[in-house]
Amino acid sequence: MNVFQKIKSRKKAEAEETPHVVSAADEPPTEPRQKTKKTDRFGLVSWALTLILVAALLGGTLYYKSVQEPVTVNVPAPTAAPTDEAGLAFDPSANATDSDSLFPTIYRDLEVKTNKPQRPRYTPELYRVVRGDSMYHIAEEFKVKSETILYVNEQLEDNPHSLRPGMELLIPPSDGLYYLWKEGDTFASVAKKFDANADDIIDFPGNDVDLADPQILAGQNIFIPGGSRELANWAAQLPTNTRGANTGTGGGNAANVCGGGPVANSLGWPADDHTLSGNVYEPGHLGIDISAYEGAPVYAAGAGVVTMAQGGWNYGYGNVIQIDHGNGYITVYAHLSAILVSQCQVVGQGSQIGLAGNTGNSFGSHLHFEIRIGGANVNPYTIVQ
């Protein structure tokens, strides 16, 4: 065997001993190759921008709120501090202030949602008069008429000017008066006496009448709903003088007190202030109270003759002036601090006749002004305004 044959034989033997390795490149493809996932850079950028935008909006809102002035809401002060479950009082604003938060804190009282209807009153109420009160204002406060208060308070003597600070008044539950039942009284007779209705007396709950057997014992104080009585006419106590026959309220039989004088064509307002201080024209107060400070000028409402210029008590009128206007009208000016005219003096419309004051049965400085026609009082506010 030559050399070439030996070499060939050796290579053949080596080839048979060494296994053949097939490379991946030589191996025929059986499945498709998996592609590598790439990062979605566009999605990440979008989310990042969104988060930045939201943060900027929220930060701007908080900054705007923090620089605003606190909002203050005024609420009524609570009558009693609220309590917790243990019954201890606490302050809802004690642990929260505007400085602790970026948002203003608004405090509100707890409100009961249930609307409780006001029950009617069947018993009288005691009221203490304070400075500045008037019969008219007290009556308005308790929703009754002024004469009702006069009916049941004897200390007033049927005169609203008798009010004094500290005086205690009995205020009935409604318009009417109280009556002390006497032996022999019947519902019909009492109702007739006070111009009321018998059934109203029986049905009034405050009288506690047995509807099955209605009767009242003598000595019981009973409320008469809608009842009334005649009030003392203090204006009639003040004499109405005249200035001559057929010129004043006395008619043809009038005595010539002061003689003749001018006749008024109209009547004007007797003071600078055109407001009322309290009492208006009503039963028991036959004039109007005009606001006037102490010493304010008082003017003649019309031309005429002064038929009375008198100081003193004068049945509660105090210093008083009367003017006969020669046409059936007479005007009265009461509670004056000073009288600047004399009886039988002739005055013109608008002439100063006195100064306002607080004399007589008066409660505070003002001008009490009356107008009488043929001796009867009329509402001055319907004639001079």
pLDDT at 202: 95
**For residue 83, is pLDDT > 60?**
no
pLDDT at 159: 83
Q: Which residue has the higher pLDDT, 241 or 287?
A: 287
Q: Are strands 288-291 and 366-373 parallel, antiparallel or unpaired?
A: antiparallel
pTM of the model: 0.57
Cα-to-chain-centroid distance, residue 345: 47
Average pLDDT, the chain: 80
d(CA 87, CA 89): 7
CA-closest candidate to residue 201, choices 182, 217, 186: 186
Is residue 76 very low, low, confident or very high in pLDDT (cuts 50, 70, 90)? low
Q: Are 78 and 109 in contact (CB under 8 A)?
A: yes
pLDDT digits (tens, 9 = 90+) for 142-190: 999 999 999 999 998 888 878 888 999 999 999 999 999 999 999 999 9
**For residue 25, is pLDDT > 50?**
no
Q: Which residue has the higher pLDDT, 113 or 331?
A: 331
Q: 234-382: what fold?
A: Glucose Permease (Domain IIA) (2.70.70)
**For residue 103, is pLDDT > 70?**
no
Is residue 96 very low, low, confident or very high in pLDDT (cuts 50, 70, 90)? very low
Q: How many Å is the Cα radius of gyration of the chain?
A: 50
Tokens of residue 291, six digits = 């606001």
DSSP string of 199-257, one letter each residue:
HHHHH-GGG---SSS----TT-EEEEET---PPP-HHHHS----SSTTTSTTGGG---S
Domain boundaries defined on the chain: 125-225, 234-382
Least confident of 44-53, 198-207, 236-245: 236-245
Fold agreement (125-225, 234-382): no
pLDDT at 22: 47
Match domain 125-225 to its CATH number in 1.10.10.60, 3.10.350.10, 3.30.300.10, 3.40.720.10.
Answer: 3.10.350.10
